[in-house]
Amino acid sequence: MNPLTMKLEQFTSLAEDERKWLDEFCSSSRRTFEPGQPIFERGQRATEVVVVLDGLAIRRKSLRDGRQQLLAFLIPGDLCDVEVFVLEAMDHDIVAVGETVCAFVPAKVMEAQLHRSCNLTRALWWSTMLDSAILREWLVGHGSRDARARVAHLFFELLIRHRLVGRAQGDSFALPLPQEALAEAVGMTAVHLNRTLQELRADGLIRFEKKALTVLDPAGLKAAASFESDYLHLKRTEGRNQAASHRTGDLVSSSPI
């Protein structure tokens, strides 16, 4: 199954024709990007919506003083903004990390779909809301979590997201990034990230080798991150009432994750 379908099934059950539409969606004009190659660049107009099918891409914003901030990881199944095409120009870059396969969907096709009132449209909106929610959670991390918790949180989030689209092998997943880039993601220097990684390693929580991250102690990592998973809005795995789940503790913590 294509990763986008897998992801959207977290939100709702899809009918056969909807799955078929998504398959076509994902097979429309594919392109493969080499490591470091830009998919969209700041200033450019995006006339197509991109879906990552394989590999890894990042959103990144570069400041004039040369510093860069990583804004999001786009893993298989992730869309780069369902409605980008309404903007005149991108305000940041999207860049491939490792070899990355994407499908390009013309704005018109996307728009046509968004005007058909159905399950699928709502599912796409859900994915948009999810992206914002993740972004907000990153902001929370930058604003109020220390280095250790921030890194732990990122890793735990990525583990869950990779699982959702079937890209995790057990408790590990591909993360073909230099520490330098990871540091940009969590908003700290590469040196300090390195020390933080060593700390997490020493505590037996993770392993990060050969461009892959392995979570050795999921519960421990989750605790280190003080991870609360409601922001991922995975309702199908948790039953209906999230309000209750938020108050009674955290249902996901008792799940296999």
Partner DNA sequence: CGTTGACTTGACGGAAGTCAAAAGGTGTGG
Partner DNA sequence: CCACACCTTTTGACTTCCGTCAAGTCAACG
Q: For residue 253, state whether it binds a second copy (rule: CB under 8 A).
A: no
Residue 142 within binding range of DNA, rule CB under 7 A: no
The first and second tokens of residue 187, run together, are 């908003």
Q: Which of 29, 132, 198, 241 binds DNA (CB under 7 A)?
A: 198
Shorter beta-carbon distance to DNA: residue 25 or 156: 156
Applying CB under 8 A, the span of 192-200, 201-209, 214-222, 227-235 interacting with a second copy comes to 227-235
Contact between 148 and DNA by CB under 7 A: the answer reads yes
Residue 34 contact partner, candidates DNA, a second copy, none, CB within 5 to 8 A by sort of partner: none
Q: Least distance to DNA from the beta carbon of 67, Å? A: 9
Interface stretch with DNA, choices 20-28, 49-57, 142-150, 212-220 (CB under 7 A): 142-150
Q: Taking the complex as a whole, how short is the minimal distance between the CB of residue 255 and a second copy, in angstroms?
A: 16
| 254 is a contact residue toward a second copy (CB under 8 A) | no
Please pick, from the candidates 20, 27, 35, 135, the single residue that binds a second copy as defined by CB under 8 A. Answer: 135
